[in-house]
Amino acid sequence: MVLAVALILVTVASVLFHFLSPWWFTPLASNWKLIDDTILITLVITGGVFVAVNLFIAWALIRYRHRPGRRATYEPENKKLEGWLTIGTSLGIIAMLAPGLYVYTQMIRVPEDAIVVEAVGQQWQWRFRLPGEDGRLGRTGAAFVSLDNPLGLDPDDPDGHDDLIVPGPDLVLPLDRPVLVLLRAHDVLHNFYVPQFRVKMDLVPGLVSRFWFTPTATGRFEILCAELCGVGHWNMRGHVEVVDKSAYREWRAALPTFGAVLAAAADDGLDEAARRGRELARERGCLACHTLDGAAGIGPTWQGLYGAERPLADGRSVRADADYLAEAIRDPNATLVAGFPAIMPRVDLSEAEVDALVAFIRSLGAPTAEAQGADPMPPGDAPAANEAAHGAPR
Amino acid sequence: MTHDADTHHEPSSFWTRYVWSQDHKVIAIQYTLTAIAIGLVGLVLSNLMRLQLGFPGRFDFIDAAAYYQYVTMHGMIMVIYLLTALLLGGFGNYLIPLMVGARDMVFPYLNMLSFWVYLLAVLVLVASFFVPGGPTGAGWTLYPPQAILPGTPGTDWGIVLMLASLVIFIVAATMGGLNYVTTVLQARTRGMTLMRMPLTVWGIFTASVLALLAFPALFVAGMMMLLDKLAGTSFFMPAIVSMGRELGHEGGSPLLFQHLFWFFGHPEVYIVALPAFGIVSDLISTHARKNIFGYRMMVWAIVAIGGLSFVVWAHHMYVSGMNPYFGYFFATTTLIIAVPTAIKVYNWVLTLWRGNIHLTVPMLFAIGFICSFVLGGITGLFLGNVSVDIPLSDTYFVVAHFHMVMGVAPILAIFGGIYHWYPKVTGRMLDERLGRLHFWVTFLGTYAIYFPMHYLGFLGMPRRYYSFEDYAFIPDSAQDLNAFITVCALVVAAFQFLFLFNLVWSAFRGKPAESNPWGATTLEWQTPETPPRHGNWGEALPVVHRWAYDYSVPGAKRDFIPQTEPHEGAPPGTDEALAEARP
C-alpha cells in the first residue's frame, strides 16, 4: 500500500516538476526549431508511457495485494494482449523515429549558400579561420603547427595565404545566414557546442568534421567544449557573437590574413634569452594554459603581463616584475592571481631557464590599454604579429 | 549431466574449502564480496565528485585533476568491476548450477582461476591509486588521444595500469563466461529443457554469450592503446601536436577506438541489464504468486535484445565526427531494440496484474527496479534518436539516463536478488526492517538524484565539467539543484552501509531460514540442505517435470508447485510425464 501511494506521489511529483522546473532549454537562437519539436514529440509519447506504467503498477499493487485467502489467476500467456501491445509500441516508436530521421536529413544537408568557418580546438582554447577572397581554405597539417602558425596552415599553399585568421577565441557570425562549421584539432578530441544553437559536433585529430546552422538571434553566446579534453576541459572558453550583416562585414574586413601574419612574424626582434624562453615555453607546455594574445586561458595571458599590477586571490596585489615572475614560475601556487585556479604544476627548471622565460614574458610587452581589449586589431598590429616566428614549417 | 560421485569429494581443509575453492557457491561469494568491496570504493569516489559539483571550491583537495580521476575510476569500477563481476561472477556462479540442477560448473578449476584472475585485475586497478601521477582521469571511455597524452591526469602510470587491469579482467570474464555458457548448455539436469529454465538463467546465459563476443573488442582496443602508449605505434594516433610538441605518430584513427570501445560498450549495457531482467522476472513471479506473464515472449525478448545489442553501438557516436549517414542505421536499430525491451516491461507489469502480491523486501526492490528502468528506458529513446540526441549528447541528460538505466536499475535488481537468495546462501534471513529502510532510502533517494538531473541536461549543462563558474547561460538555481543532488547522494551512500551491516549481522544473528522461505518453484529452493552442500543435490540429481512458474495453479493444494514435482498420472521421470509438463 505504502509503495502504491509512493508510486503515485512520485509520478505526480515528476509531472509537476516537469511543468514547474525553471531548468529547461535555453531560448533557441538558430534555425533548429525542428529539433525542439522532435524533442517535444518524444517527450509527450514517453511521458505518457511513464505515467501509464507507474499508475498501472500502483493500481495493481492496491487491487491485487495479498489478503488472506486470495489466489492469483493462472494465465501463462495471452497472445492477443501481447500482440496488441507489440503493435502499439511499434507505432509509438515509428511516431518518434520518423520525424527524428526527417529532421536528421535536414541536419546533414548543408545549404549551398552557407558561409564557411573553421573552428580549431586546442587544449584549452578556441581558434577560428575564414576563407579569404578566393573562398577556399588552405591546406593544413599537424607538421606545420608552430607558435606563429597555431592553426597548422601550409605556408607553401597559395590558397592559404589569403585565409583570415581570427585573433582570440571569439567568433563573429552574421544573422540569418547559414553557416557551415568545419572542425579540426591537432591534439585531442574536443566538441564545439553552443547550447542555444542546439547542434554540436566533435573535433577529431586527423579528420575534418562538420555541422551547420543558421543563427536567428543576435547576441553573444558561449562556446562550450563538450568532449572531455583533459584537466582544462571545463574551462575552454570562447564566444560566438551574432551580429547584423554590416557589422559582420566590418569585423571580417579587419581580420589579418595568414600571409600578413607570416610576414610580420618573420621579423621577431627577440634577444637571445627571450628566444630561448620562447622555445622553453613551447617545449614545457606553458602555452597550453598561458596565451600570448591577450585571451584568458587556464592561466593568465602573458601578453602585457610584464610590469603589470595584478590582484591576488588573497586580496593583495602585486607588480609582475622579474622577481615576482621568477618566483611564480618556481613556486606556482604560493601566490595566486585572482580568478585562476591553483592547478599549475611545479616544473623542473634551472635558474637560467627561469630567467629565459622571464625574458620572453618581458618581450611580450608592458601593459597597454589596447593590449587588454577585445577589439579586433588591424593586421599589422595583431598580437600574433608581435611574436617571434619561423615562417617555415618545422 | 551427472558427475561421478568421486569427482565430488568435499574439500576438507579450510584453505581448499574457502580460499582455493572450486565450489561454485564459494566462488560466487568470493566474487560477490570482492565486487562489493571495490564497489564501495566506487561509491565513495562518486560522493567526492558530488561534493565538488554541489559545493564547488569548498573542498581544497578536490582539484580539477583529482575530480577527473574520481569520475573516471567511479565509472569504470561501477560498470566493470562491480556490476559485471557481481552479476555474472556472483549471481551467475551461485545460481546457474543450482537452477539448472547441476552439481557444479562444468569446469570447476577454471572457475576458481576466473575468480583469482578477477581479483588480480581489481588489485592492479587499485594499485593505480598509489602510483606517481595517480589513476587515469581520461573518463571511463578512455578515448584516445587524450587518454595517453599530457594534459590528462595519470597518463604516465595510471592509464597503463587501467588498460592492464581491463585486459586481465577480460581474461577472467572469458574463463567465467565459457563456464557459464557451457554449464547451461551441457549440464542441465534431466527434464530441464531450455524453455523450462528460469528467466534468471536465461538472462545470465545470454549476458555471458554477449560478454564472450563483446569483451574481445575491448581487449584488442586496450592492447592497441597500450602499444600506442608504450611502443609508439599509431593505431589510434594521427599526426599530433600535444602541448606544442609534435609527436611521432601518424595515420591512426581516434574514431577506430570509439568503434571498438562501443562495440564492446553497448553490449556491456545488456551484459548488466539482462541478468537484472532475469532476476527481476523471477522475483516478481515468486512474490506475486503468479506465473511470469508471457514466458516464451520473455525468452525471445532476451535473445532478441542480446542480438540487436551488437548492431546499435554507434548511437554513442552521433556527434563523434563519424560518417553522418551511419546515423540513419543506428537510430533505426536502436529504436527497434525498444520494442522487445518494452515487451519485457509490459510482461512484468502484467505479472502483477491479477496476482497475489506480497510486498516482501525483494519485491519492493523488484518494483523499484521497474520504475527506475522505465525512466531510464524512455530517456534512452531520446538519446537513440539521432536528431534528438545531438542537443542532449554530452550533457547531464546522458548522465541521468545511463545512471538510471544501468546504474540504479541493475543495483536495485541486485539488492532484490540478494534479499531473495540470502536465506539460501547463508541459511538465515536478512533483517526485514533494515531491508525496508534500505529500500525506501535507496529508491526514493536515487530518484531524487537522477530525475531532476535530466533537466540540467535539457538546460545544456555539459557533463564532465569540474566547475560551472561564470557560464552565463546557467542560472544560479542550477547550482542549488546540484547542491540538493549532492545531499541526496550522500544520504543514499550512507544508507548503503546499513545494508552492509545487515549483510554481516544477519549472517550470524539473522532469523534462521527455512529451506524455501518464499515458496518458490525453482530448483535452488529444493536442495536437500540449506545452504546447499558441496555437490548441491546429495545422492541423486533432481529431475524436472515442469516449467519454473507453476504458481497458483488451479486445483493445486499449495500456491506453488516445485519444478521437481511430477504431474499426476504419469510416473515421475518418464517421457510422458516430461512431455505433459509443458504449460
pLDDT tens per residue across span B142-164: 999 999 998 999 998 999 999 99
**Backbone CA torsion sign across A331, A336, A337, A342:** positive
Domain endpoint, select from A233, A260, A287:
A260
pLDDT of residue B2: 45
Judge whether residue B3 has pLDDT over 80.
Answer: no
* A298 and A194 assigned to the same domain: no
Name chain A contacts of B400, Cβ cutoff 8 Å.
none
* A140 and A235 assigned to the same domain: yes
Rounded Cα distance, B98 and B543, in Å: 13
Number of domains, chain A: 3
Does residue A221 fall inside a structural domain?
A: yes
pLDDT of residue A379: 39
Judge whether residue B579 has pLDDT over 80.
Answer: no
pLDDT of residue B580: 53
Q: Between chains, do B551 and A74 touch, taking CB under 8 Å as contact?
A: yes
Which CATH number characterizes residue A324's domain?
A: 1.10.760.10
Does residue A45 fall inside a structural domain?
A: yes
pLDDT of residue B18: 83
Q: Between chains, do A25 and B460 touch, taking CB under 8 Å as contact?
A: yes
Rounded Cα distance, B117 and B119, in Å: 5
Quick one: A369 exposed, middle or buried, by C-beta within 10 A (0-12, 13-18, 19+)? Answer: exposed
pLDDT of residue B524: 96
Q: Contact A276/A356 with Cβ under 8 angstroms?
A: yes
Amino acid at B245: R
Does residue A281 fall inside a structural domain?
A: yes
* A199 and A232 assigned to the same domain: yes
Q: How many Cα neighbours within 13 Å face the side chain of A375? A: 7
**C-alpha cell read off for B411:** 543495483
Which CATH number characterizes residue A125's domain?
A: 2.60.40.420
Least confident window among A106-110, A373-377, B13-17, B90-94 = A373-377
Q: Contact A236/A229 with Cβ under 8 angstroms?
A: yes
Does residue A7 fall inside a structural domain?
A: yes
Phi, psi of A334 (to 5 degrees): -65, -45
Peptide bond into A126 cis (omega under 30): no
The CA distance from B378 to the nearest CA of chain A, in Å, is: 6
- In order, the DSSP letters of A209-256 are EEEEE-B-S-EEEEEEE-S--STTGGG--EEEEEE-HHHHHHHHHTSP
Residue of B nearest to A63 (CA): B354
Which ipTM score applies to this complex? 0.92
Quick one: A68 exposed, middle or buried, by C-beta within 10 A (0-12, 13-18, 19+)? Answer: exposed
Does residue A72 fall inside a structural domain?
A: no
Domain endpoint, select from A260, A281, A298:
A260
B46 three-class SS: helix
pLDDT of residue A388: 35
* A99 and A135 assigned to the same domain: no
Share of chain B above pLDDT 70, in %: 96
* A237 and A121 assigned to the same domain: yes
Higher-scoring residue by pLDDT: B17, A180: A180
Does residue A344 fall inside a structural domain?
A: yes
pLDDT of residue A339: 77
* A130 and A237 assigned to the same domain: yes
pLDDT of residue B570: 58
Higher-scoring residue by pLDDT: B572, A97: A97
Does residue A240 fall inside a structural domain?
A: yes
Name the strand (E) or helix (H) holding B81.
none
Phi, psi of B368 (to 5 degrees): -55, -40
Name chain A contacts of B245, Cβ cutoff 8 Å.
282-283, 285
Name chain B contacts of A82, Cβ cutoff 8 Å.
294, 297, 343, 346-347
Domain endpoint, select from A86, A107, A128:
A107
Instruction: Please state, rounded to an integer, the average pLDDT across all residues of chain B.
Output: 94
Rounded Cα distance, A49 and A53, in Å: 6
Judge whether residue B576 has pLDDT over 60.
Answer: no
* pLDDT tens string B338-365: 999 999 999 999 999 999 999 999 999 9
**A–B: how many Cβ contacts below 8 A?**
347
Name chain B contacts of A6, Cβ cutoff 8 Å.
440, 444
pLDDT of residue B413: 98
Name the residue among B313, B497, B276 with its Cα closest to residue B404: B276
Share of chain B above pLDDT 90, in %: 91
Residues of chain A with pLDDT under 70: 267-268, 367-394
Cβ-based neighbours of A279, under 8 Å, separated by 6 or more = none
Q: Contact A188/A229 with Cβ under 8 angstroms?
A: yes
Rounded Cα distance, A14 and A371, in Å: 51
**C-alpha cell read off for A383:** 598580437
Rounded Cα distance, A77 and A75, in Å: 6
Name chain A contacts of B243, Cβ cutoff 8 Å.
123, 187, 285, 287-288
* A119 and A162 assigned to the same domain: yes
Query: Mean pLDDT over residues B328-346, rounded?
Result: 96
* A240 and A351 assigned to the same domain: no
pLDDT of residue A351: 87
Residue A33 is part of which domain span? 2-66+78-107
Q: Is A374 an interface residue toward B (CB < 8 Å)?
A: no
Does residue A22 fall inside a structural domain?
A: yes
* A120 and A85 assigned to the same domain: no
pTM here is 0.89
pLDDT of residue A316: 85
